[in-house]
Amino acid sequence: MSRMLLAFALGCMSLAATAQTSPAPQTQPGQPRTIELRDGRYWEPVASPATAPTTDETLDRAGRLVESNNNAAAKKVLVNWLKRETASPLRDRALFLLGLANYRYGDRVASFYNFDELMDKYTDSKYFYPALEKQYQIADAFLAGYKRRFIGFPLLSAQDEGVEMLFRIQQRSPGSPLAEKALKRTADYYYANAEYDLAVDAYTAFIDRYKRSPEIPQARLKKAFAELAQFHGTKFDPTPVINARTSLEELAIDYPDLARQENVEAVVERIDSALARKVYQNAHFYLRTHETRAAAFTFKYLIKNYPDSVEAGRAKVELARLPESVKDGLTPSSKPAELQMGPK
């Protein structure tokens, strides 16, 4: 999934989370639903909940077939029933059973869409959240390597479909524990799959959206390591490693036990070594281009901010060789952003 698609999906979820402020009017017991106009189409009234049947012999039989793992027979029964009973108030149950039959048969994509239809048409169904939970299981299995069926055999990987399914779940139930779980699973998938830029975006969204989640410490740790993994060496843009260092320092303040457990201090020391090399390379770039004043400034910055580094010792020697005229009045900044001076 591209960064653009990820950003679009996260934006849609944010809108969905703020859109549910006007709940639909509830039907009172014993009161039949009225005809409503939705999307330019009229929807017929259904039977009153007080008089609607609560069981169906055919659905009971289909349920027993699913329980006994006779899924092909169950699917046939349920498809015929759904074609026949177009106005039955029990269609949500039939769709749920059909989704289960397809799930157990191994056709997880068909199962996902069965549950999707149920939730589209019957938002107040008692099967809504069980169907949503089943959709999460389908998406999670795809990300873990479960194969899609092709000509009856599980042959095709479906990780991209799994990610899209997780976003769909978050749109269905924004702010819910399952939506939280789905976003964290998405971020963890990107991290495990070495898609570190997308992992940072997903972890950032998770941290911003679920500030009280017990998963926040681990999410912040992985976000920092995902930032660090995007640093490709001292000849490249240092922004990712600077961001990683900031994230790790903040983590060590907020969660000192976790920081000790993960040896964050040693990681920060390695980052500082890399940053010191970056600054030293910048200073030498200025020497090669005869920008001696900029070189002197950069050497001073290195000595002040990374005094224990090997490069700081070298910088003292080279700074001493420069004319006093280019060193006078220079006060190096202590801001990490200064590392972005010079070539990347």
Q: Where are the domains of the chain?
A: 58-173, 231-340
Summarised one tens digit per residue, pLDDT across range 38-62 is: 444 434 444 444 445 578 999 999 9
147-154 long-range CB contacts below 8 Å, 24 or more apart?
A: 148/108, 148/109, 149/106, 149/107, 149/109, 154/106
CA dihedral 273, 279, 280, 281 (to 10 degrees): 110
Name the CATH code of domain 58-173 (choices 1.25.40.10, 1.10.10.350, 1.10.3720.10, 3.40.50.2300): 1.25.40.10
Per-residue pLDDT of the chain in tens (344 residues, 90 and over written 9) = 455 455 545 555 554 444 443 344 444 444 444 334 444 443 444 444 444 557 899 999 999 999 999 999 999 999 999 999 999 999 999 999 999 999 999 899 999 999 999 999 999 999 999 999 999 999 999 999 876 766 565 556 678 999 999 999 999 988 899 999 999 999 999 999 999 999 999 999 999 999 999 999 999 999 999 999 999 888 888 899 999 999 999 999 999 999 999 999 999 999 999 999 999 999 999 999 999 999 999 999 999 999 999 999 999 999 888 888 777 766 665 444 445 444 44
d(CA 8, CA 2): 10
What's the token pair of residue 124? 């107040």
d(CA 63, CA 66): 5
What's the token pair of residue 262? 């993960």
- DSSP-assigned letter for residue 28: P
Q: Which fold has domain 231-340?
A: 1.25.40
Yes or no: say if 334 and 315 are a contact pair by the CB < 8 Å rule. Answer: no
